[in-house]
Amino acid sequence: MPATVVVGTQWGDEGKGRFTDLLAKDMDLVVRYQGGHNAGHRIVVGGEAFSLQLVPSGVLYPHTIPVIGNGVVVDPTVLVAECEALEARGVDTSRLVVSGNAHLIMPYHYELDRATERSLGKNKLGTTKRGIGPAYADKAARIGLRIQDLLDPKIFRQKLDVVLREKNAVLAKVFNRLALDGEEIAQLYLGEIAPRVAPMIADTVTLIHDALDAGKQVMLEGAQATFLDLDHGTYPYVTSSNPTAGGACVGSGIGPREITRVVGIAKAYVTRVGAGPFPSEVDGAIADQLVERGHEYGTNTGRRRRPGWLDLVMLRHAVRLNSVSEIALTKLDVLSSLSALRLCVAYEADGERLDKVPYHQSVLHRVRPIYEELAGWSEDLTGVTSVERLPRAAREYIARIEQAVGVPVTFAAVGPDRDQYVSFAA
Ligand code: IMP
């Protein structure tokens, strides 16, 4: 059976969690393929909010197997804490499996993330300070520790000894920070954490392939988003993994021919956290309205997100980069009561009109958005569940998006709850 990828098409926080949750209803396996607990997927079920960082959204359905794939970086202390918190609220996490090849986030990764951000000063990236970048850097440098190392204390200690010598030297000599104690780390990871994580470790590649071979439904759940992608995002203001759909193959261990559906999640406007270019960014009263009505504060970090109008240039690019086959639009209700709406349809730079994202990022930093103005609507959408009951202006807004990006909008969310959405599917 084919696999479905769910991917963010903007700078993250599009509301992927609520759609992965919705789609998970029909899935047998839900697989996270990259990122770590820098993600914060918020799902509201019957008015009760769940914030998931590492555990795939499918955990909330008793019939899905949630899988943490090989491409994810895992702080096992966070994993254990998140499972305990879910269990305390009556959610069964016993089906959760974790790839033995997933890399571990270690205490020195946090130290290095924080120290690097501090030393970058005004050029800092605005990371989540969860050690994500340093963990992926070690993976690429081939000095990372993996989940499976938790099963072999001798190997774990050997690797830790070697790597900690280097990390402590950097922390002390470059950043003037205190050295970390290897024994303390080993005791925490091997003594307390390993026994809790060991039962979750599995050969996830075989599990996923067996499921596909048996005709089961597999969903690959992206975290962060297209323009935070290490290769295709606004580098260096990106995360250190590949959220784009190609990353779903690498981070789960399947080939591209298994994927037949790619759902691109797009917020009805755009937000971004952290630094980096943002052509359609707005400020003033409209910004305040989007932030307050849309509760645009980080699920994890509480940071205020930067808001802007929907950027169709970037959305078109995201559709190409990910082979998006349909778009699920989120937070349409937040736009209610704005008298006029804007869509960024192209950019202008150096007297020229640009219809595509410029490949030279210095240009992207100075482009000016070219907007098309559309009528707004005053109606509250939060109770709307059918296309016919959407105000005409809202339908026109959606139709203009479809026309600009060339793929259909199949869902529009009109509120945070699991059931607050409109389906356009025939
Ligand atoms: P890192 O992933 O913590 O290294 O942060 C790198 C960049 O990605 C920063 O600009 C973060 O704000 C951004 N980022 C990381 N995770 C998320 C997310 O889940 N939503 C939105 N932005 C994120």
Between 46 and 167, the higher pLDDT residue: 167
> Of 13, 138, 229, 333, which residue is the catalytic one?
13
Q: What is the pLDDT of residue 253?
A: 98
Q: Which protein residue's CA is at the shortest distance from atom 9 of ligand 1? A: 127
Q: What is the pLDDT of residue 1?
A: 64
Site to substitute for ligand 1 among 273, 299, 300, 301, most atoms within 8 A of C-beta? 273
| Mean pLDDT value of segment 174-185 | 96
Q: Which protein residue's CA is at the shortest distance from atom 19 of ligand 1? A: 39
| Mean pLDDT value of segment 101-124 | 97
Question: Residue 252 phi/psi, 5° resolution?
Answer: -125, -20
Q: Which protein residue's CA is at the shortest distance from atom 10 of ligand 1? A: 274
* CA–CA distance, 405 with 16 (Å, rounded to integer): 19
Return the DSSP state at 174.
I
- Tokens of residue 235, six digits: 């580098």
| Mean pLDDT value of segment 34-59 | 88
Q: Which atom of ligand 1 is nearest to the CA of 223?
A: 19
- The answer to whether 209 is a known catalytic residue is no
Nearest to 315, CA basis, from 269, 251, 384? 269
Angle 293-297-303 (CA atoms, 0-180°, nearest 5)? 150
Query: Which residues sit opposite 219 in a β-bridge?
Result: 4, 30
Q: What would the pLDDT profile of 52-95 be if each residue is shown by its tens digit? A: 899 998 899 999 999 999 999 999 999 999 999 999 999 999 99
- The answer to whether 360 is a known catalytic residue is no
* pTM for this predicted structure: 0.95
* CA–CA distance, 52 with 89 (Å, rounded to integer): 13
**Pairing status of strand 48-52 against strand 65-68:** unpaired
**Average pLDDT along the chain:** 95
List of residues 6+ apart from 264 with CB closer than 8 A: 7, 8, 9, 315, 318, 319, 322, 324, 326, 327, 328, 407
Nearest to 197, CA basis, from 53, 103, 100, 108? 100
State the angle between helix axes of 392-405 and 312-322 in degrees (0 to 180), rounded to the nearest 10: 50
Query: Which residues sit opposite 73 in a β-bridge?
Result: 103
List of residues 6+ apart from 111 with CB closer than 8 A: 167, 171, 175, 177, 180
Q: What is the pLDDT of residue 279?
A: 97
**How far does Cα 233 stand from its chain's mean position?**
13
Q: What would the pLDDT profile of 288-339 be if each residue is shown by its tens digit? A: 999 999 999 987 778 899 999 999 999 999 999 999 999 999 999 999 999 8
Pocket of ligand 1 (CB under 6 A): 12-13, 38-40, 125-128, 130, 132-133, 223-224, 228, 237, 239-240, 273-274
State the distance from the centre of ligand 1 to the C-alpha of 97, rounded, in angstroms. 24
State the distance from the centre of ligand 1 to the C-alpha of 278, rounded, in angstroms. 15
> Of 21, 28, 37, 41, which residue is the catalytic one?
41
Q: How many CB atoms lie within 10 A of CB 311?
A: 27
* CA–CA distance, 104 with 115 (Å, rounded to integer): 19
What DSSP letter does each residue of 43-85 carry, written as one string?
EEETTEEEEESSS-GGGGSTTPEEEE-TTBEE-HHHHHHHHHH
Q: Are 57 and 42 within 8 A, CB to CB?
A: no
Q: pLDDT > 90: what percent of the chain?
A: 90
* CA–CA distance, 377 with 373 (Å, rounded to integer): 13
State the distance from the centre of ligand 1 to the C-alpha of 72, rounded, in angstroms. 14
pLDDT band for position 426 (cuts 50, 70, 90): low
- What is the chain's length? 426
Angle 72-35-224 (CA atoms, 0-180°, nearest 5)? 150
- Tokens of residue 298, six digits: 């980080």
